[in-house]
Structure 1
Amino acid sequence: MAKSKASKTRTRIDALRAVIDKECTAPTCRESGTCRHEGEKTAARHMLGRLLEKLKGAAGDEREERARMWAEIYERGYDDHGNTYRTGAKYRTGQSMKERTAGIRADIKMARRVGTAPLVREESGLVSQAVETYRFDPIGEAPAQIKFRVRIGAGYGSIRIGVDDIPQEWGWIAEEVEDYQGEKATRWRRTQELKDLEAELKSIGEAYNADHGSNVMTDCFTQAFFVFIESDDPATIVRRAEYERRDRRA
């Protein structure tokens, strides 16, 4: 069946606004008086703000755009002693680590969901050609087979965002190098697409973070938590599979 004109002309921004504006009709929510879908709406509002901000400067320099992105994520400052402080856009005092990881998961899920919507309308006039070709949604546009996991690190001092099932040809570039013994070896480095994806995931995690006065000169770190992005190159995946096989045999 051919797609309707409405579905063909739907944009990612339209899709987000539809989630935000849709009135909840779920019987359980009406009976309880509390909408259990509010987290989804919050994630949609967060992503809509990020996309609109990026669209404003999409035709500009990528380095400047990334600086603007971080400026929006953090409210930065220094005190009289050179200690830094910053507050993420979604940081809340008293928020538990479980609540933060749940928020990050919701934001990633929303980005993936909206990534299935068309980037621009078929009609002219919505955005310029520069914006059409600008890669502003690395999470939504990442290959469908990629899986994400968000978990609390050991000691509850970090949140780790894992990227699994990365297509080798999409995420990694093989380089032939010589090791310290002069033997040839393969070194894997990230593609620009994977770097962009990891940077976007980092920004989502850091939006829930805050720094209450760190100072690198004195090795004082007072962040609420640390955000780590984890992705294994093909060689690491092979080694891990071999270790698991050995463990099963033992």
Structure 2
Amino acid sequence: MNLTSKIDACKALIHHPKTPEEEREAARRLLVRLQARAQRDGHNDGAAPGTPGYHGPGRRAYGAKYTGYIRSAALTKLIRADIAVLRKLGRQPARPGEVKAPEPIGDAPASIRFSVKKDDYAGGRSIDITITGVPADWWIDQPDPYDSTMKWRKAGPQLTALKEALQEITWAYNYDGSDLLTDYHDRNFYDHYRADGHGEGDYPRDI
């Protein structure tokens, strides 16, 4: 599916009478992000004017779906639903004659699973996403810059694209007014991403 088709599919999900309400809400949130992406890419899809990330008072940058504080448990539920809608859209074939636009979450192999958890701690919180069932060839060898005989595993292009797509989802609910020059931290939540399949033990590692 190309971007226009994804927008149409989202609208169809939203307006279909048999769509569950939770899935309908996730489709609405996805539609906002797709329309913002279409605006950036110069598509005319009927999206209302707006910028998905903007600076408000105090020079905070806000995600497109940030409307105020949401409890961590509710936040993880929203993110899981957003991922599920993209997985569903990814199973839909391209229309005849159209070029299928890449969608890392929707196009990911069926073996891949996503776990979204929260971590509330003193002074902040985080959303932690773990990706399992990752193909081994989604990791690549990186030569050690200090020892030419050593290599270490790093995320390859497919896994990096998948992480960036997940970051787009989480950022929609986030804000950031941090100033690293003064060591000032001001975020709605931090986000971490881990994946398995690297072949160096059976535990997920940071990507």
TM-score interval, normalised by the smaller of the two chains:
0.7 to 0.9
Match of 2:136 in 1: 168
Match of 1:237 in 2: 201
Q: 1:112 aligns with which of 82, 87, 94?
A: 87
What is the Cα deviation at residue 55 of structure 1?
4.8
The whole-number CA distance in structure 2 between the counterparts of 1:142 and 1:19 is 21
The whole-number CA distance in structure 2 between the counterparts of 1:72 and 1:227 is 22
Query: Do residues 194 (structure 1) and 177 (structure 2) align?
Result: no
What's the secondary structure of 1:41's corresponding residue?
A: helix
What's the secondary structure of 2:187's corresponding residue?
A: coil
Q: Deviations over 1:56-104 (max 9, x none)?
A: 66699xxxxxxxxxx943222574xxxx302222223231111111000
What's the secondary structure of 2:110's corresponding residue?
A: coil
Contact 1:15 1:117 in 2 (8 A): no
Q: 2:76 aligns with which of 80, 101, 124?
A: 101
Q: 2:32 aligns with which of 31, 49, 58?
A: 49
Letter in 2 for 1:203: E
Letter in 2 for 1:138: P
Q: Give TM-score scaled by structure 2 length.
A: 0.78
Match of 1:214 in 2: 178
Match of 1:18 in 2: 12
Aligned residue pairs, count: 192
Match of 1:38 in 2: 21
The whole-number CA distance in structure 2 between the counterparts of 1:175 and 1:227 is 24
Instruction: Work out which of the two has the higher radius of gyration on C-alpha atoms and give 1 or 2.
Output: 1
Q: Give TM-score scaled by structure 1 length.
A: 0.66
CA spacing shift, 1:23–1:138, aligned 2, 3 Å: same
The whole-number CA distance in structure 1 between the counterparts of 2:12 and 2:40 is 24
Match of 1:142 in 2: 108
Q: Percent identity?
A: 30
Structure 2 gaps, min length 5: 44-49
Match of 1:73 in 2: 52
The structure whose residues are more often helix, as a share, is: 1
What is the Cα deviation at residue 16 of structure 1?
2.1
Contact 2:133 2:196 in 1 (8 A): no
CA RMSD of aligned residues (A): 2.9
Letter in 1 for 2:191: V
Match of 1:153 in 2: 119
